[in-house]
Chains A and B, each alone.
Chain A
Amino acid sequence: AQSVTQPDIHITVSEGASLELRCNYSYGATPYLFWYVQSPGQGLQLLLKYFSGDTLVQGIKGFEAEFKRSQSSFNLRKPSVHWSDAAEYFCAVGARGTGFQKLVFGTGTRLLVSP
């Protein structure tokens, strides 16, 4: 079964600084990979996804993520953080060919943005 690890529970970044959120997954083949963002009391918004092809994926709000098979990682990056990026970020992995396409989520990383 697949699993996801987000090693950082909290990260604080100064506004305007770059950001990298880590995500490591465990899965026997190439998985579907996702990053979602959740603001307090809200549902999840899809930032980006990787299914196949180019390993550097561009998403919304200036985010990108890179799939590195050798490291089983799918880290999320943003070159310049804005105060509105403060939220909870979840990495998720989905197994291919399962029909139901269940997602397994990491525990999340809370991003705090300091002035």
Chain B
Amino acid sequence: GAVVSQHPSWVICKSGTSVKIECRSLDFQATTMFWYRQFPKQSLMLMATSNEGSKATYEQGVEKDKFLINHASLTLSTLTVTSAHPEDSSFYICSAREVTDTQYFGPGTRLTVL
């Protein structure tokens, strides 16, 4: 139980295009999902907290117009990187919080912007 999926697992795009990443909780409902960014050999940096049916809460320094988050249902949150640039290349990981307050993580999405 408590499985979280992400799609795609990796994506390569051209500079200036937008990329959408999906995060799904497969066997539980998640009123709250989180989006993290991880640079090589570093820890996870929380980007935003996503609540179903409401606007996401962004961490300080994260551009909300750059990283659009939508939490349309209790099992799906999406992160859209708009007008991506090479500096947006990173490993993006989502997590979903289930009823016991435990966060379960997706397998991550590797984004490369050329």
A-to-B contact residues, CB < 8 Å: 32, 34, 36, 41-46, 49, 51, 90, 94, 100-103, 105-108
Asked whether B46 lies within 8 Å of A103 as measured between CB atoms, the reply is: yes
Instruction: Closest A residue to B104 by CB, please name it.
Output: A46
Bound CA–CA A102/B97 (angstroms): 10
A94 touches B43 (CB 8 A): no
B91 CB contacts on chain A under 8 angstroms: 41
Q: How many angstroms from the CA of A46 to the CA of B102 in the assembled complex?
A: 9
Q: Is the contact region of chain B dominated by helix, strand, or loop, or is it mixed?
A: strand
* Residues of B close to A42: CB separation below 8 A: 107-108
Which among A34, A43, A94, A105 has the highest number of chain B CB atoms within 10 Å? A43
Interface size class of B (residues with CB under 8 A): 20 to 34
Q: What residues of B have a CB within 8 angstroms of the CB of A34 in the complex?
A: 102-103
Q: Which chain A residues border B101 with CB–CB below 8 Å?
A: 32, 51, 94, 101
With A and B bound together, what is the CA distance between A17 and B32 in angstroms?
40
What are 19 A-B pairs with beta-carbon distances under 8 A? A36-B105, A41-B108, A43-B93, A43-B105, A44-B44, A44-B105, A46-B104, A51-B100, A90-B44, A100-B32, A100-B49, A100-B57, A101-B97, A102-B46, A103-B46, A103-B103, A105-B43, A107-B42, A107-B43
What residues on B are CB-neighbors of A46 within 8 Å? 102-105
Q: Give the docked Cα–Cα distance between A100 and B51 (Å).
A: 9
CB neighbours of B46 from chain A (8 A)? 102-103
